[in-house]
Structure 1
Amino acid sequence: MPDQPLLLWFRRDLRLADHPMLAAALDSGRPLLPVFILDPETEAIGAAAKWRLGEGIATFARALEALGSQLVLRRGPALEVLQALARETGAAGVRWSRLYDPASVARDRQVKAALRAGGLSAESHAGHLLHEPWEVQTGQGGFYKVYTPYWNAVRQRPVADALPVPKRLPAPAQWPESDRLEDWRMGAAMQRGAAVVARYASVGEVAAQARLRGFLDARLERYADARDLPGVEATSRLSEHLTYGEITPRAIWHAGMRALHEGVPGAEKFLKEVVWREFSYHLLHHTPQIASENWRNDWQSFAWRGDSDDAERWRRGMTGEPFVDAAMREMFVTGTMHNRARLIAASYLTKHLLTDWRVGQAWFEECLIDWDPASNALGWQWVAGSGPDASPYFRIFNPATQAEKFDPDGGYRSRYIAELSTAPGPEALGFFEAAPRRWGLTPKAAYPAPMIGLAEGRDRALAAYAARNA
């Protein structure tokens, strides 16, 4: 019956523009009932990501209201919630945008099978990536394990045009009851850190589009040269919005391609970074174990250290290596971390401290508002040496020489480390405001001595690597 609504199950697609699932639902001519479910899989994400998700839900709900619609909030296992809503509303079916991490894939398969068995239509749609992971294949019909061949395979691959924003969403005759977002307490685990991170977060579809325009107009031209300088505003900072689907990679891709065709320097390098995210999901789909296990089987025997007091000092930004500590404190203050800084912080933990990459992966998941399951897993394994890589070189970044090269004036380090400045700024002091009181940290304390000599740490890592191959 045409008056039976469709349930639109929103997850990491909190936008109206360029939304394949929403466009397909509109084409059905049925009333549409948007819903967000706080299910166990969503409950399990890290503190910072969960807080930021709550902010995104609130912003998206207001955007729906402007189109004459509402966002119904429900808490519980996704299948149970969707079945209950279908009974309450007489819905004909459910639509959603695909996700690709193992937990989401398992949940969505169960949901789809159970809904269809119960007589409801259930359809998933693309929208989180440029290309579905199974669409891009090698000449032999397999999947890509190295980035550069993957880039060469997709750089000329057609990408459909972005879809427009709908002018109005047809509403059901009656709306079911909804939870109150404030009752979910999405930021509870952030404690006092939420107020600090909120100063730097950028939330919602409108903010995402503004960020993209600002990047294209002011920073793209120098992106290739300046993107590795954490003290310079040179990157797009769109990862936060991509995480929650407030903008699509398709919209970003077309904007970057226009700039490339116009001859703007930096455009191709920027497009390569968009495709690096695609490559992460390509690998996650074909080798889902990358999210939790060493991607290379020959790394299973590597003698990683587990969690320890050393790892705790790393988490607190108290290693005594300014570049590493600035990176860790930036994450705690802003909820994000510059990409070059991520490499340095991850290398120090896994190489100089010989700590299991999963210890760092878990902390990033807890603290990043732009946490992405595929990019986080691939990034950590790439640095650790256990992941996909065309080069056999065992990377050990030296924080001191990296600082000389990428933070030559010390601006990034002094911005986030109060103990190294005579007049610390808001970001440096914000770290002590956001840090848990139980850590007992104060900006008036002396900056800690290094945990290990850089040469000593490098030699120890190389010895461990040699022992693995002995």
Structure 2
Amino acid sequence: MTVICWFRRMLRLDDHPALVAAAREGAVIPLVILAPQEARLRPASAQRQAMSLPRLEASLRSRHSRLIVRRGDPAEVLEAIARETGADTVHTTTGFPFYSDHGLKAAVERGGATLCLHHPADLIPRGSVTTKTGDPYKVFTPFWKSMRQCDIAQPLDAPSLSSPDRWPDSDGLDWPEARRAMRRGWDVMAEHIRPGEDEALDRLDAFMSDDMADYKANRDLPWREHGTSELSDSLAVGEISARRIWHRCLPALHDGRKGAETFMSELAWREFGRELMHQSPKMDSDNWRDEWADFPWKRDNAEAEAWKRGQTGIAMVDAGMRELYVTGRMHNRVRMITGSYLTKNLLTDWRVGLEWFEHALIDWDAASNAMNWQWVAGSGADSAPFFRIFNPDTQAEKFDAKGRYRDFWLNPESKGAKSFAEAAPESWKIDLKKKHYPAMSLGESRKRALSAYQDLKG
């Protein structure tokens, strides 16, 4: 039998349930589909995926296989390649909250094959961790305590692969739509991306050996190199599975190694976000708490545009927005600061921030992005109260006391600032020496936000 395994945001051979099932069934054609629409909506994430493809291709070649890449609408591509290859089955992964399975089954059947959907290698099956009454958790801490008691399934080893008698044509590893969408930013961001399954595993081992012990303290310091595992983008594009990370860390947790529990709880936050989106599929578009529907958030506005461009005049906020645009990442502490500033000081709708992060993040994940934005805005599950407004200047004094993070991104002579000027669209007309000033002081904007909140409560 000839079977197709569609590597649907699972750019690895290890712990890949769909690939294991396909290998058991017959000769495997590994397939990646590059959808133009995804490149337009999420260009940074698309670049991150594109840069992983040569590594995936090399891994498959080492196993006497190869990678077939097709560009186009997934349903149309699946129908065409199933018919072209005479494949009996198409195996792929389901359960991603940002991809729809609608129309795939019919398209594959029109191509003469059967579609088999497999759950991703998450830590827990969706809906399996509930309260004693069988309800889903709405607060993270009890969810984490309950999840800790679960037997997390062992990750699957990469299977042996047999090849078909004839390989279909491939469109090549490049993703031109993503390059066009990234414009000048592609080459700048490429310097900050370390793609590949082997690279992710090496990074995990290095973190556990050298940095995990100080993780609890260092994870809040945006200036510190390797203060975190730096695995978020590898998880997001599927170069490593949460199960593989969990089981690598489990002995350290049992041995009481410092930092292990804090790090593993961050994996649990990822699961919690997916659970919330499983319960509320429109969490990325609708307020999780219905009572927030009447809050007077503004949609796109001039202040929000200045926020996107790192031109608010608030140093910690602008540094974070520049880091995001250059690297496709933003330190988690700074994400909270920039998110609070947008939704509370600027009274801008959290969906404006969500959409910008979707555009700019290489570690974009629909569930985590929606959960985090609603958390910081106060409208989500287990969220920070709206009256908890991060003061960017106070946060900077606490977590960037010597100004190293801010200086790297804001000093006109620094590498970070110059990289931002190179990456930003020419239409932004970035002048690194130009001073920017906030439209309203932090104190005044805080009072305005609290007044709006009191009106909502009233």
TM bucket, shorter chain:
over 0.9
1:463 counterpart residue number: 451
Query: Aligned letter for 1:462?
Result: L
Classify the secondary structure of the residue corresponding to 1:96: strand
- Please state whether the residue corresponding to 2:103 is helix, strand or coil: helix
8 A contact 2:326–2:420 mirrored in 1 = yes
**For residue 226 of structure 1, what is the amino acid of its counterpart?**
N
Counterpart residue number, 1:63: 59
Q: How far did residue 116 of structure 1 move?
A: 5.5
Between 324-333 and 41-50, the greater mean CA deviation after superposition: 41-50
What is the aligned partner in structure 2 of residue 98 from structure 1?
Answer: 94
Find the aligned partners of 2:70 and 2:242 in 1 and give their Cα distance. 28
Return closer, same or farther for 1:186/1:392 CA change in 2, 3 Å cut-off.
closer
Deviations 1:152-171 (A, max 9, x none): 111120012222233x4111
- Assess if the C-alpha contact under 8 Å between 1:100 and 1:284 holds in 2: no
What does residue range 375-386 of structure 1 map to in structure 2 within 5 Å?
Answer: 375-386=368-379
Question: Pairwise mapping of residues 25-40 of structure 1 onto structure 2 (< 5 A)?
Answer: 25-28=22-25, 30-39=26-35
CA 1:62 to 1:45, structure 2 compared with 1: closer, same or farther past 3 Å? Answer: farther
Please point out which of 396, 399, 405 is paired with 1:406: 399
With over 3 angstroms needed to count, the CA separation of the structure-2 counterparts of 1:307 and 1:82, relative to structure 1, is: same
Name the CA shift for 1:114/1:334 in 2 (closer, same or farther; >3 Å).
Answer: closer
Number of residue pairs matched?
A: 457
Q: Distance in 2 between matches of 1:338 and 1:393?
A: 22
Q: Secondary structure at the match of 2:33?
A: strand
| Cα shift readout 1:263-321 (whole Å, capped 9, x = no counterpart) | 21111010110000000011111101111111110000000111111111101101111
2:17 paired with 1:20:
yes
Contact 1:230 1:338 in 2 (8 A): yes
SS of residue in 2 equivalent to 1:231: coil
Change (3 A) 1:391 1:413: closer
What is the rounded CA distance, in whole Å, between the counterparts of 2:234 and 2:175 in structure 1? 24
Map Cα deviations across residues 21-63 of structure 1 (whole Å, 9 max, x no partner). 21122222x1001111123653453121111111122321222
In the other structure, the counterpart of 1:54 is 50
Give the 3 Å change call, closer, same or farther, for CA 33–319 of structure 1 in structure 2: same
**Amino acid of the residue matched to residue 241 of structure 2?**
T
- Give distance in 2, aligned partners of 1:42 and 1:438: 23
Question: What's the % identity of the aligned pairs?
Answer: 46
**Distance change in 2, residues 1:283/1:63 (3 Å):** same
Looking at structure 1, the residues matched to 441 and 431 of structure 2 have their Cα atoms a distance apart, in angstroms, of: 25
Q: CA deviation at 1:142?
A: 2.2
Measured in 2, the distance between the counterparts of 1:48 and 1:117 equals 33
Write out per-residue CA displacement over residues 78-108 of structure 1, whole angstroms, 9 at most, x where no aligned residue: 222212212111111110122321x51xx31
**What secondary structure is seen at the aligned counterpart in 2 of 1:290?**
coil
- Name whichever of 121-130 and 5-14 sits farther off: 121-130
Distance 1:393 1:78, change over 3 A: closer
Judged with a 3 Å threshold, the aligned counterparts in structure 2 of structure 1 residues 7 and 429 are, in CA distance, closer, same or farther, namely: same
| Structure-1 separation of matches of 2:360 and 2:146 | 34
Match of 1:197 in 2: 189
* Equivalent pair of 1:13/1:128 in contact (CA under 8 Å): no
Secondary structure in 1 matching 2:278: helix
Pairing partner for 1:316 from 292, 309, 312:
309
What amino acid is aligned across from residue 28 of structure 2 in structure 1?
L
The DSSP-based 3-state class of the residue aligned with 1:122 is strand
User: What does 1:189-228 correspond to in 2, within 5 Å?
Assistant: 189-228=181-220
CA 1:221–1:36: 2 relative to 1, 3 Å? same
SS of 1:108's partner is coil
Q: Does 1:267 align with 2:260?
A: yes
For residue 390 of structure 2, what is the amino acid of its counterpart?
F
Question: Which among 287, 291, 295 is matched to residue 294 of structure 1?
Answer: 287
Aligned-partner Cα distance in 2 for 1:94–1:174: 17
**8 Å Cα contact 2:377/2:386 also seen in 1:** no
Q: 1:467 to 1:15 in 2, by over 3 A?
A: same
Could you tell me which runs of 5 or more consecutive residues in structure 1 were left unpaired when the two chains were aligned: none
> How many angstroms does 1:132 deviate by?
1.9
What is the aligned partner in structure 1 of residue 83 from structure 2?
A: 87
Contact 2:5 2:31 in 1 (8 A): yes
Shift of 1:71: 1.4
The residue aligned with 1:178 is 170
**Alpha-carbon deviation of 1:137?**
2.3
Structure 1 partner of 2:224: 232
Superposed CA RMSD in Å reads 1.7
> Equivalent of 1:77, from 69, 73, 76?
73
Q: Given the alignment of the two structures, is residue 7 of structure 1 paired with residue 31 of structure 2, yes or no?
A: no
Contact 1:47 1:189 in 2 (8 A): yes
Match of 2:434 in 1: 446
Given the two structures, how large is their TM-score scaled by the length of structure 1? 0.93
Task: Say which of 132, 138, 150 aligns to 1:145.
Answer: 138
Name the CA distance, whole Å, in 2 between partners of 1:232 and 1:323.
15
CA contact (8 A) 1:99 1:128 kept: no
Provide the rounded CA distance (Å) in 1 between the counterparts of 2:437 and 2:36: 42
Amino acid at match of 2:127: W
One-letter amino acid of the structure 1 residue matched with residue 431 of structure 2: T
Structure 1 residue 324, shift from structure 2 partner? 0.5
- Report the AA paired with residue 436 of structure 2: P
**Divergent runs of 4+, >6 A:** none
Q: CA deviation at 1:134?
A: 2.2
CA contact (8 A) 2:28 2:161 kept: yes
Following superposition, the deviation at residue 128 of structure 1 comes to: 4.1
Q: What is the distance in 2 between the residues matched to 1:243 and 1:277? A: 10
The one-letter amino acid of 1:321's match is: I
**Are the equivalent residues in 1 in contact too, given 2:203–2:229 (CA < 8 A)?**
yes
Work out whether residues 307 and 318 of structure 2, in 8 Å CA contact, stay in contact via their aligned partners in 1: yes
Mapped partners of 2:434, 2:80: distance in 1: 58
Whole-Å separation in 1 of the counterparts to 2:7 and 2:344: 40
CA shift, 1:64, in A, is 1.3
Per-residue CA deviations over 1:323-346 (Å, capped at 9, x if unaligned) read 101100111111100000000001
